Chain A
Amino acid sequence: MRTLEQTTEEILNLAATHFKVPREKLSADDDFFKKLGIDSLQALEMLTRLESHFGIELPDYEMQGVTDFRTLASRIQSRL
């Protein structure tokens, strides 16, 4: 079972790769809309990648109001 820290780290790695951003520029409390320069649809695309990585399903509305990697990680963690 992953810890929340591990889940967060994996999300940051995946986001950095997917959006071609240096990993060291991302941190858990970053607002991913602002830091990655993405819109809500791109955030949903990222969610699909995360689902397949973690082997879970998250409905779109679970992303509602989520803007930072740490909160996203806790939503994912609760389904692992």
Chain B
Amino acid sequence: MLDLSKYESLGAALREALERWPGEICLIEADRERENCRLTYRQFKEAALPLARALQQAGFGAGDRAAIIMTNQSKWLISAYAIFYCGGVLVPLDYKLNAAEHLQLLAHSKARVLIVEYPFWRAITQSPAFGEFRARTVLVTEGPTDTDLAGAKRWEEARGTSEPEFHARSRKDWAAIVYSSGTGGRPKGCVMTHENYLEQCVALTALYPFWPGVRYLSILPTNHAIDFMVGFIGPFTCGATVVHLRTLRPEYVREAFLRYKITYVTLVPLVLKNLQKGLQARVDALPPAKRRIFYALRRLNKLLTQHKPKLWLSRRLLPQIHQAFGGELRAIIVGGAFTEPDAIRFFYDLGIIVVNAYGLSEACTGITANHADFFRADTVGKPLPGIEVRIENPDLDGIGEVCVRGKTVMSHYLDDPDLTAETIVDGWLHTGDLGRLDATGHLQLFGRKKNMIVTAEGKNIYPEDIENAFEGVPVKEYCVFAANYLWPQRTMVGEQLVIVLRPESGQQVSNSVRAELDSRNRRLLNYKRISGYVIWDEDFPRTASLKIKRGVLAEQIRARLDRSAVVPL
């Protein structure tokens, strides 16, 4: 089992890893069929330390905050290590946000340094809100040589000339500010400590170990808590290799498995489903006789592995399937959103282990995970070592709110003591998810208590974050809800958002209102869109400061209307 107890910080743990495996490959960056770079741990260090020095020479020091806005690529990890080396606090931002959202989170996080890919920087500088930008140092990667960078410097030229100073941090110091949501009214910046990450790394690698030679395929965004842990900290502290793929396109993902003989990958359910469809299409295309043989072998594999997976056996029985994944795949980890058991079962019957896990940014990635040796498609597994899970206020079926305690639970929400106090009570993180622990201690999830949805792409969408998009729709007032919050269902798939419209007195919701809703909806990213509207004929209950009392309104709607009241858009 990995022992990180002697380290006080991520910077210290990573620094020693770079010294311990100088000749091992730590990072491969691929783009489509090309390989952009391949670095050993020594070369990684040689790339990162001059950057750390340059940051220090620009006045960046211990406790200062530095944001990264980049797609998955080698410079992301090099920059993150340089920030930790300086004792800085990393602010990993989602590159898929728009420029206004980036500027909002940069301001909220008070990032002093921004490291950003050129197209995102260009968008930020063109935003009307650019005047509010306050970071003192901006390093832009891959900027065209003949372009004015609006005061920024080129990342590639940011190389200090002397040895950087390593700044030690303690376990309780901040390591990162991770935004779990908050592009609307209330940014939720999870303040993670070095202890959170070190403990999470030990807990996860206890179940799914890394070692030199292991290759982890990183396709989820590295700013996401999952990939940051299993696509950076986990493999690096163990001498393994991270393969970055700069595209999510299914054909290149499939190729990457083959070319790099991937050991582990983490996927969101949408990508898993896509792989399933691809495999099924290949099987369906077989001549009838071969297809019958395939199904017979699959039945045999299912029979022989029903209690425990036997990778060596499955690889022999179904070699073409396993070769399609490179032949060395040990597990596909799925997380970020709820995965349907049928999809997990589909792969397991072929001898491919899909590990269903559950976690939250607030809990530093993983809370529970299934053990690869005991297949369970219907649960998200047992709590990881060192993490306690309890069900609060269970109903007669044992279902209640999932609460978590342990050293991986975040310190607090940045600058939001009220939200922190609501979320972490007596050391227990209230997840807002509804679940039940079965007799064997496995967690099963049944829905959400909180007003939010998670898409199959692993995106957390909070209704408050998209309400602004409907500002000006000609009704008296409106409010967006998760449909499952208004009408609880014991499911976590197919979640949708609905808008509740309160028309003016005597107003009919006309075609022009519908057209306006449709037009606003289309300006949102496809996974953020509302699926329908509900007409409500009373004024919304509000607080003294005129904020909508969402909980009260939801109760009123629930008491008088059911799902059939939703008019699809």
Contacts and interface: CB of A to CB of B under 8 A. Distances in A.
Contact of A31 (B246, B251, B270, B522): B522
A55 interface: no
B166 interface: no
Contact of A44 (B96, B248, B456, B527): B248
Contacts of A74: none
A59 interface: yes
A77 to B, nearest CB: 17
B535 interface: no
B310 to A, nearest CB: 31
A24 interface: no
Q: How large is the interface on B (under 10, 10 to 19, 20 to 34, 35 or more residues)?
A: 20 to 34
Contact of A61 (B96, B522, B527): B96
B379 to A, nearest CB: 26
Interface in B271-287: 271, 274
Interface string B233-252: 00000000000001111110
A64 B525 contact: yes
A59 B119 CA distance: 10
B525 A65 contact: yes
A40 interface: yes
Contacts of A57: 32
B173 interface: no
Given A61-B96, A61-B119, A64-B96, A41 B248 contact: yes
A47 interface: yes
A41 B270 contact: yes
Interface string B263-302: 0000000110010000000000000000000000000000
B526 A45 contact: no
B522 A67 contact: yes
Nearest to B97: A64
A61 B70 CA distance: 10
Nearest to B569: A34
A41 B455 CA distance: 13
A22 to B, nearest CB: 22
B35 to A, nearest CB: 16
A54 B173 CA distance: 51
Given A61-B96, A64-B96, A41 B525 contact: no
B95 interface: yes
Contact of A45 (B32, B119, B249, B270): B249
Contacts of A33: 526
Nearest to A38: B526
B98 interface: yes
A65 B98 contact: yes
Contacts of A48: 249, 251
B270 A40 contact: yes
B457 interface: yes
Given A40-B527, A65-B525, A67-B522, A60 B251 contact: no
A39 B527 CA distance: 9
Nearest to A29: B522
A41 B526 contact: no
Nearest to B249: A44
B223 to A, nearest CB: 13
Nearest to B275: A41
A67 B274 CA distance: 20
A41 B71 CA distance: 17
Contacts of B456: 39
A62 to B, nearest CB: 8
Contacts of B522: 31, 67-68
Contact of A60 (B249, B270, B525): B249
B518 to A, nearest CB: 9
A26 B338 CA distance: 33
Contacts of A45: 249-251
B5 to A, nearest CB: 40
Most buried by B among A31, A40, A44, A68: A40
B52 to A, nearest CB: 27
A5 to B, nearest CB: 22
Contacts of B270: 39-41
Contacts of B249: 41, 44-45, 47-48, 60
Nearest to B456: A39
Given A40-B270, A41-B271, A60 B526 contact: no
Interface in B210-248: 246-248
A39 B337 CA distance: 16
18 contacts: A39-B456, A40-B527, A41-B249, A41-B250, A44-B248, A45-B250, A45-B251, A48-B249, A57-B32, A60-B71, A60-B246, A60-B249, A61-B96, A61-B119, A64-B96, A64-B525, A67-B526, A68-B522
What 5 pairs between A and B have smallest CB-CB spacing? A33-B526, A44-B249, A41-B274, A60-B247, A64-B96
Interface of B: 32, 71, 95-96, 98, 119, 246-251, 270-271, 274, 456-457, 522, 525-527
Given A40-B457, A47-B249, A59-B246, 17 more contacts: A33-B526, A39-B270, A40-B270, A41-B248, A41-B249, A41-B250, A41-B270, A45-B249, A45-B251, A48-B249, A59-B119, A60-B247, A61-B119, A64-B525, A67-B522, A67-B526, A68-B522
